[in-house]
A and B are shown apart, each in its own frame.
Chain A
Amino acid sequence: MVSQVLSTVLTVLAGVAAALVVYWVLNKLAEALPGPWENRIKPYFYVAPAVAAIGVYLVYPTIITVINSFKNSDGSRFVGVENFVKLLQTPAFRQTLLNTLLWIAIVPAACIVVGLFVATLADRLSFRAEKAAKTIIFMPMAISAVGSATVWRFMYAAQPAGQPQTGLLNGIVTAFGHDPVPWLQQSTLHSNSLLLMVMLLWGQAGFAMVLLSAAIKGVPAETLEAARLDGAGEMRIFWRVILPQIRGTVITVFVTVLITVMKVFDVIYVTTNGAFNTNVVGLEFFNQLYTNYNYGYASAIVVMLLIAIVPIMIYQIRHFRAEEPA
């Protein structure tokens, strides 16, 4: 154990020191260059490691993945669009897509609703009560999916009828004299997917709340006072005065959660692993990669994801350009 701690500390120090040395050497190299060249080259030295990291881990793989998506399962020959066609023809994959669409339709909106609800109401509490409430809602964000699966077991667990229940939901159901329900196996109307969505909502709502709360506090008090003087009720003020002014933040939160949801993987991996019709695209990608070793399918799934993300990317760049002072 001691040696493990020591080696941990040493690797951390060595890593950081190595990075520093690289820059020091690059800097010296640049300074050794004659006059104008020094200042011309130095910026490139400074950005090179970061650009290299992004190039190796995002740009190069994206190109390879797009190429792989047109190749067969082990990447030995080109098969055209066969991967896409076959995937989309499989009923199971269509269900997976449908589930993912359900996640996309429900979770981001639900996060906004819960986040707005708590942010608006907590804003009316005393300072300390507001802080406490926000910490409680926000804290699950620090909990991993594995941790949250542990937590939610004690809500969703089902024991055979007659035995003591360990999950709270079934504790309530049996207390009313009904039989326990194996919640995560109930695929009628995707109710088990909904329960898994609750787990993600539990983790993400705090994030939405923090951003929305900051935005609400930024709404100019004069506009609110004016509305109050005109006799508007609190509900009306929320819908007509506050909401329009925090629209930008609502969109930011929505898009961020949307991307998280499009790629959701671990919540489902650690609970049902896609059984009982809870599969989603992120998990299907992982299973094609690790269970079926079908690189063609796995790549095709990522490419579909990429295509879905392109509009968000365009939005992102436009937004950046608009905000950047020329």
Chain B
Amino acid sequence: MTTQTTGTITPAASRRFRPARRGAQASPGRSGRRSPLPVKLSVLFVCALWIVPTLGVVITSFRTVDAANSSGWWSLLAHPGGLADLTTGNYSKAIEQADLGSAFFNSVAITLPAVFVPLLIAAFAAYAFTFMRFKGRDALFIVIVSLLVVPNYVAFVPIIKLYSDVNLNGTFPAAWLAHIGFGMSLAVYILRNYMATLPKDVVESAKIDGASHFQTFYRLILPMSAPALASFAIFQFLWVWNDLLVALVFVGPGDKQPITIATNNLFGQQGTGWELVTAGGLFSMLVPILVFLTLQRYFVRGLTSGAVKG
């Protein structure tokens, strides 16, 4: 969630986790024993702790202003009679009044290029780092590895000045380029580590068949790297979509603002009721949660193969 990091990654991770692909029997807990009750209860307890806060916002988002102000959201659990009064009105009101609809599309416009362009750029670089020989290759890659942990804060002042020279501040490309730059070292790192696990003879035989590097990359390596591409895409997507800081600095509030800024503005406005804040907040979470739930498998695979963005 609160990720503006270019994260740390332990290269070891990919290797370390590979043995995990064993049957469930290998798992410490599954040596043919049934799970004891205390274990079940403990897990249930932690899960409840994790869900309760979210429950509050979900329930409140469907309550009327009066109901939300006159009793806590949990009272609805005790008196289910109030269920009849629930409404979706808050959502339509929030989307209209706070102009969240437009902010939503701004988020889409900022996020998609900021995900796909670095993916392509990084894939080319990763291909060269993995399958081509050139002077300074290893040194250059070490530099990229070390830059993984440099906080993007360093870039703000210099890049604002750079942008103002070319009138880029407050535009979509300002955000795209920033996200491309900030995500690049991680992207190259993840993709190169993945490509290094692909069989080298595939490239060799393609070369013998007369394929150029461009063709080999495009026809063979890119499709074969799909899992790594997917996991970086999900990272970058969640990062950019949920980003507040880069958007505040390079896009700013206004007609280009993404949904994080728009929702945050709802907090600040005096007299904005709970109902709008909750509906707005949930609206902003909708896409990342959907993406997360549908692509969780790739996300987890990416994490466990060492693709960690702090």
Chain A positions near chain B (C-beta within 8 angstroms): 1, 4-5, 7-8, 11-12, 15-16, 19-20, 23-24, 27, 31, 40, 42-44, 46-47, 49-51, 53-54, 56-62, 64-65, 68, 114, 117-118, 120-127, 129, 133, 135-155, 164-168, 171, 200, 202-204, 207, 210-211, 214-221, 224-225, 228, 237, 242, 248-249, 251-252, 255-260, 262-267, 269-270, 282, 285-286, 289-290, 295, 298-299, 302, 305-306, 309, 312-313, 316-317, 319-324
| Nearest chain B residue, comparing its CB with the CB of A205 | B50
Selecting from B82-90, B142-150, B198-206, the interface stretch reads: B142-150
Q: Does B211 contact A (CB under 8 A)?
A: no
Considering the complex of A and B, which 3 residue pairs feature the smallest CB-CB distances, nearest first? A57-B181, A150-B281, A154-B56
Task: Give the CA-CA distance A285 to B151 in the complex, in Å.
Answer: 12
Q: A61-B159, A221-B28, A257-B310 are in contact. Are A46 and B153 (CB under 8 A)?
A: no
Partner of A47, one of B129, B154, B238, B282: B129
Q: A11-B172, A313-B146 are in contact. Are A146 and B244 (CB under 8 A)?
A: yes
Q: How far is the CB of B134 from chain A (nearest CB, A)?
A: 4
Q: How far is the CB of B265 from chain A (nearest CB, A)?
A: 10
Task: Give the CA-CA distance A148 to B74 in the complex, in Å.
Answer: 18
Q: B259-286 interface mask toward A, CB cutoff 8 Å, 1 = contact, 0 = none?
A: 0100110010000001001101110110
Contact A166–B28 (Cβ < 8 Å):
no
Q: How far is the CB of A321 from chain B (nearest CB, A)?
A: 8
Contact B245–A265 (Cβ < 8 Å):
yes
Q: How far is the CB of A250 from chain B (nearest CB, A)?
A: 11
- Chain B interface main SS type: helix
Contact A144–B284 (Cβ < 8 Å):
yes
Q: A124-B39, A150-B282, A316-B149 are in contact. Are A144 and B241 (CB under 8 A)?
A: yes
Contact B72–A168 (Cβ < 8 Å):
yes
Q: How far is the CB of B236 from chain A (nearest CB, A)?
A: 13
Query: How many residues of B are in contact with the other chain, CB < 8 A?
Result: 137
Contact A266–B245 (Cβ < 8 Å):
yes
- Chain A interface main SS type: helix
Q: How far is the CB of A214 from chain B (nearest CB, A)?
A: 4
Please name all residues of chain A whose beta carbon is closer than 8 Å to the beta carbon of B293 when the two chains form the complex.
Answer: 135, 139
Contact B132–A316 (Cβ < 8 Å):
no
| Nearest chain B residue, comparing its CB with the CB of A286 | B245
Contact B158–A65 (Cβ < 8 Å):
yes
Task: Give the CA-CA distance A221 to B32 in the complex, in Å.
Answer: 12
Task: Give the CA-CA distance A183 to B60 in the complex, in Å.
Answer: 20
Contact B180–A53 (Cβ < 8 Å):
yes
Contact A53–B16 (Cβ < 8 Å):
no
Contact A64–B158 (Cβ < 8 Å):
yes
Task: Give the CA-CA distance A53 to B40 in the complex, in Å.
Answer: 49
Contact B244–A68 (Cβ < 8 Å):
no
Please name all residues of chain A whose beta carbon is closer than 8 Å to the beta carbon of B109 when the two chains form the complex.
Answer: 4, 7-8, 11-12
Partner of A123, one of B27, B137, B158, B187: B27
Contact B157–A295 (Cβ < 8 Å):
yes
Please name all residues of chain B whose beta carbon is closer than 8 Å to the beta carbon of A164 when the two chains form the complex.
Answer: 69-72
Contact A202–B50 (Cβ < 8 Å):
yes
| Nearest chain B residue, comparing its CB with the CB of A252 | B10
Contact B244–A269 (Cβ < 8 Å):
yes
Partner of B47, one of A43, A133, A220, A252: A133
Give me 15 other A-B pairs in contact (C-beta within 8 A), A43-B128, A149-B264, A252-B10 excluded.
Answer: A11-B172, A137-B47, A146-B264, A148-B1, A151-B281, A164-B71, A166-B69, A166-B72, A200-B1, A210-B303, A211-B13, A220-B26, A263-B151, A316-B145, A320-B142
Contact B26–A171 (Cβ < 8 Å):
no
Q: How far is the CB of B287 from chain A (nearest CB, A)?
A: 9
Q: Does B226 contact A (CB under 8 A)?
A: no
